[in-house]
Amino acid sequence: MTETYPQAGSAQTAAPVLLQLQDLQKSYGPAQILAGVDFEIRKGEFVCVVGPSGSGKTTLLKCMAGLLEPSGGKTVFEGEEVTEPPAKLAVVFQDYSRSLLPWMTIWQNVELPMKNKFPKPERPARIESVLEAVGLAGKGGLYPWQMSGGMQQRAAIARGLAYQPDVLLMDEPFAAVDAQTRIELEDLVLRVRAEFDTTVVFVTHDIDEAVYLADRVIVLSGAPTTVSRNIAVDLPRPRDQRDTKLLPEYARLRAEVFELIQSAKSHATIR
Ligand code: ADP
Ligand code: MG
C-alpha cells in the first residue's frame, strides 16, 4: 500500500468545500477560549491544526464535531450547520484507553458505529479490510486490554475508518504513544487516508508532525484563540520520515510554524 496523491497540496485547491468554520467562538463561563475562528477544509485535504497546549484545540474540534455547542459563529458541514454529530463525520481522540469499550473485542468495537450505516452482511468484509489497513489483520478477537497502546490506537483508527466517514477528525491521536510507534502511526494515517480517500483534520501541538503530515497547516494563536496563519505545505508525496525531513522546504516550514507558536505562547492569557 503506497500513498497515491502526487502533489496533494496544490491538487486539492479546486475540490469542493466540505467543512467551514465561520467566526466560531467558545467561552467557558467568563473565560473566552475561541475568539472567532475561520477556516475551510476542502474534500480530500489533510489539514493539521496546530497550537500551544491550552489554546483550545480540543474545544475547537468538539465544536466542529457537534459535540459541544459554540457560544457564537458556526460550523457548516456539507452545506448544513452542525448542531449535533453529523453521521458522515468520525472522531479519533487522544486517549485510546478511554475510547475503546473494554468489554468488547476489537472486532465488536469496530463494528459498533457501523451498525447504523451498513447492513449486517456487508460488515465483515469491511471490518477485515480496515483491520488489515491498520496492521491488525487477524487480531479482531483481542480485547483492548490485551493490546499495547499503539495497537489500541490502530484499532481506534480502524473504527473511525470502518464507518466510511467523509471526514475524520483526529485530536492529538499519537500524543500518548512512544516515539517509534508514533512514527509508524503517522505513516499509517497517510497511507489509509490515500487508500480510503478520507478528508482528515488532524489536531496536534507537535510542529514536526503537523508539517510532515499536512497539505495545509492552520496555526492557532494562544487563547483567546484565532487563526494566526494558514500555510500551504507543498512538500512532495509520498512523504518519507527521513527524506522529507531533510528537505530545505521542510526546515523552512517548520521554522515558520515554530516562530508563530512561540509568539502565540508569549501573547496568550495565562490561565
Ligand atoms: P488544547 O486542546 O489546545 O490543549 P482545550 O480545548 O482542551 O485546549 O482547553 C482550552 C482551555 O479551556 C484550557 O484553559 C482549559 O482548561 C479550558 N477548558 C477546556 N474544557 C473546559 C470545560 N469543560 N470547562 C471549563 N474550562 C475548560
Ligand atoms: Mg487537547
CATH no. for residue 40? 3.40.50.300
Q: How many CB atoms lie within 10 A of CB 79?
A: 9
Query: How many domains does the chain fold into?
Result: 2
Q: Point out the domain boundary residue: 164, 198, 220.
A: 164
| Domain identity same for 114 and 207 | no
- Of residues 66, 71, 57, 78, the one with CA closest to residue 24: 71
pTM for this model (two decimals): 0.92
Q: What's the pLDDT at 269?
A: 60
Grid coordinates representing 152 are: 489500541
| Domain identity same for 263 and 173 | yes
Query: Secondary structure of the chain: what % helix, strand, coil (to 5)?
Result: 40, 25, 35
What residue owns the CA closest to ligand 1's atom 23?
A: 28
CA 264 – ligand 1 centroid, Å: 16
User: Could you tell me if the CB of 33 is within 6 A of ligand 1?
Assistant: yes
- CA-CA-CA-CA torsion for 181, 144, 57, 27, nearest 10 degrees? -160
Asked if residue 44 is part of any domain, the answer here is yes
Q: What's the rounded Cα separation, in Å, for the pair 46 and 201?
A: 6
Distances (CA, A) of 134 to 3, 71, 193, 245: 14, 37, 11, 24
User: Could you tell me if the CB of 98 is within 6 A of ligand 1?
Assistant: no
CA 218 – ligand 1 centroid, Å: 19
| Domain identity same for 39 and 113 | no
Orientation of helix 179-196 relative to helix 123-133, angle to 10°: 140
CA 36 – ligand 1 centroid, Å: 16
The residue written with cell numbers 480510503 in the block is: 196
Residues 6+ apart with CB under 8 A from 5: 11, 194, 237
Asked if residue 173 is part of any domain, the answer here is yes
**Residues found in the chain:** 271
Q: Which residues pair with 4 in a beta bridge?
A: none
| Domain identity same for 119 and 194 | no
Q: What's the rounded Cα separation, in Å, for the pair 89 and 235?
A: 27
Residues 6+ apart with CB under 8 A from 96: 144, 149, 152, 153, 155, 156, 173, 176
| Domain identity same for 35 and 103 | no
Q: Point out the domain boundary residue: 139, 164, 189.
A: 164
Q: What's the rounded Cα separation, in Å, for the pair 135 and 131?
A: 6
| Domain identity same for 124 and 216 | no
Q: What's the rounded Cα separation, in Å, for the pair 132 and 188?
A: 11
CA 98 – ligand 2 centroid, Å: 15
Q: Which residues pair with 24 in a beta bridge?
A: 37
User: Could you tell me if the CB of 204 is within 6 A of ligand 1?
Assistant: no
Tens-binned pLDDT, residue by residue, of the chain (271 aa): 445 444 444 445 689 999 999 999 999 999 999 999 999 999 999 999 999 889 999 999 999 999 999 999 999 999 999 999 998 999 998 887 778 999 999 999 999 989 888 999 999 999 999 999 999 999 999 999 999 999 999 999 999 988 889 999 999 999 888 899 899 999 999 998 988 889 999 999 999 999 999 999 999 998 799 999 999 999 999 999 999 999 999 999 999 999 999 988 777 665 5
Q: Point out the domain boundary residue: 164, 182, 199.
A: 164
Q: Beginning with the edge strand found earlier in the chain, give each strand of the sheet holding 227-232 in spatial order.
A: 89-92, 167-171, 199-204, 46-50, 216-220, 227-232
Domain holding 134, by residue range, is 97-164
